[in-house]
Amino acid sequence: MHHSSYAPSSVSFHKTVLDTMVLLRGPSETCGLLIGHTAASHTHVSSIHVATNRARRTQRRFKIDATDLLAAAAAAQADASELVGVFHTHPEGSASPSPLDAAHAALWSPLLWVIQGRESELGVFVIEAAGERWRRVRVVSSVPP
C-alpha cells in the first residue's frame, strides 16, 4: 500500500463524518475507516464506516475488524473513492498518537491517522516515509480551490 507520492498536507471532513465521529465517544476506544479522495496534497473525507474494535482491552487500544476493513474497501471502490484513513478514539487521552499507535503505524501507512481525544478534539497525522515519525496534517473546513 505504500505510495511515495502520498503526502497530504491538509484534510477536510464532510459534516456527517464529523457528526458521526463525535457520536463515537465512549468509555472504550472506537474505530472506523475513512473514505474519500486525495488530490493536490489535500484529502477530503466523504464518509466513515464504523468498525468493530476487536482488541481484547478496548480501553487503551483498537484493532479493526477484518470484515469491516474489507467492507469499507469494497464500498470505497463502488463509490469510485479510496480508503484514505483510519479513525480511532482516545477516551481518556489526547488527540495524538500513543506509543501503542506507533507500534502499529507501519500497518496503516500511508493512510491518514485521525485520532479523537477526550474532548472530541481531532488530531490528524501521517507517518513519514522513514517510519515512526508522525507529521501533523492540517484540518481545514472545506476543500481548497
Residues within the interface to Zn ion (CB under 5 A): 98, 101
Distances from the Cα of 44 to the Cα of 10, 11, 15, 32, 108, angstroms: 9, 6, 11, 16, 18
Give the cell for residue 75: 464500498
Q: Smaller CB distance to Zn ion: residue 34 or 44?
A: 34
Q: Smaller CB distance to Zn ion: residue 68 or 101?
A: 101
Q: Smaller CB distance to Zn ion: residue 79 or 132?
A: 132
Minimum distance of Zn ion from residue 85's CB (angstroms): 13
Torsion of CA 30, 33, 34, 36, to 10 degrees: -170
Q: Smaller CB distance to Zn ion: residue 14 or 60?
A: 60
Minimum distance of Zn ion from residue 40's CB (angstroms): 29
Residue of this chain nearest to Zn ion (CB atom): 101
Minimum distance of Zn ion from residue 22's CB (angstroms): 17
Q: What 8-state DSSP symbol labels residue 31?
A: E
| 132, 108 Cβ separation under 8 angstroms | no
| For the chain, counts of helices (H) and of strands (E) | 4, 8
Q: Smaller CB distance to Zn ion: residue 44 or 58?
A: 58
Question: What pairing do the DSSP bridges indicate for beta strands 82-89 and 42-51?
Answer: unpaired
Minimum distance of Zn ion from residue 101's CB (angstroms): 4
Minimum distance of Zn ion from residue 54's CB (angstroms): 15
